[in-house]
Structure formats: C-alpha cells, structure tokens
C-alpha cells in the first residue's frame, strides 16, 4: 500500500483552513477527502469515523444526533 503524504497534508491543511474561515461545506469536503485517503492507506475504517462523529454530535448537543426513539 502506498500513500501520497503530500496529498494527505494538502487535504488536512485545506480542511482546517476552510473551517477557520467559516466555510463549513468546503471544510467537510476536504475532511471527507482526508478520510478517503486514510481509508485507502488502511489507516482508518469508515465505521470508526461514523461512530466517532455520532459521539461528537451526541455530546455537542447537535440536534441531528437526537435519538429517534
């Protein structure tokens, strides 16, 4: 397996920069690209990202995380 470290760095830098200037949609795009690159390198698996995101939302008070029960 090969990973393009410059592409990983670029995706991370862009996600952080867009988040810092309030461009959430662009930040999410680059964060998703970063996750994709890390998945391809077999560093993370998407089910872990989903679980972590669900926990983050639950504890941040995000209405999207409300239990539908």
pLDDT: is 51 or 24 the higher one?
24
Instruction: Please check the confidence at residue 17 and state whether its pLDDT lies above 90.
Output: yes
Q: What is the mean pLDDT of residues 26-31?
A: 94
Token pair belonging to 37? 């690159």
| Helix/strand/coil for 68 | coil
Kindly report the number of other CB atoms within 10 A of residue 54's CB atom. 13
| 38-68 residue pLDDT tens | 888 788 776 665 666 655 656 665 555 444 4
Report if pTM > 0.95.
no
Residues 6+ apart with CB under 8 A from 16: 27
Kindly report the number of other CB atoms within 10 A of residue 31's CB atom. 18
Residue 9: name the closest of 29, 37, 28 by CA.
Answer: 37
């Amino acid at each position: 397996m090969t990973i393009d470290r410059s592409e990983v760095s670029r995706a991370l830098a862009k996600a952080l920069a867009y988040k810092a200037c309030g461009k959430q949609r662009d930040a999410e795009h680059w964060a998703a690209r970063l996750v994709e690159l890390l998945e391809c390198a077999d560093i993370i698996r998407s089910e872990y990202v989903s679980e972590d995101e669900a926990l983050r939302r639950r504890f941040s008070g995000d209405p999207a995380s409300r239990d539908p029960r």
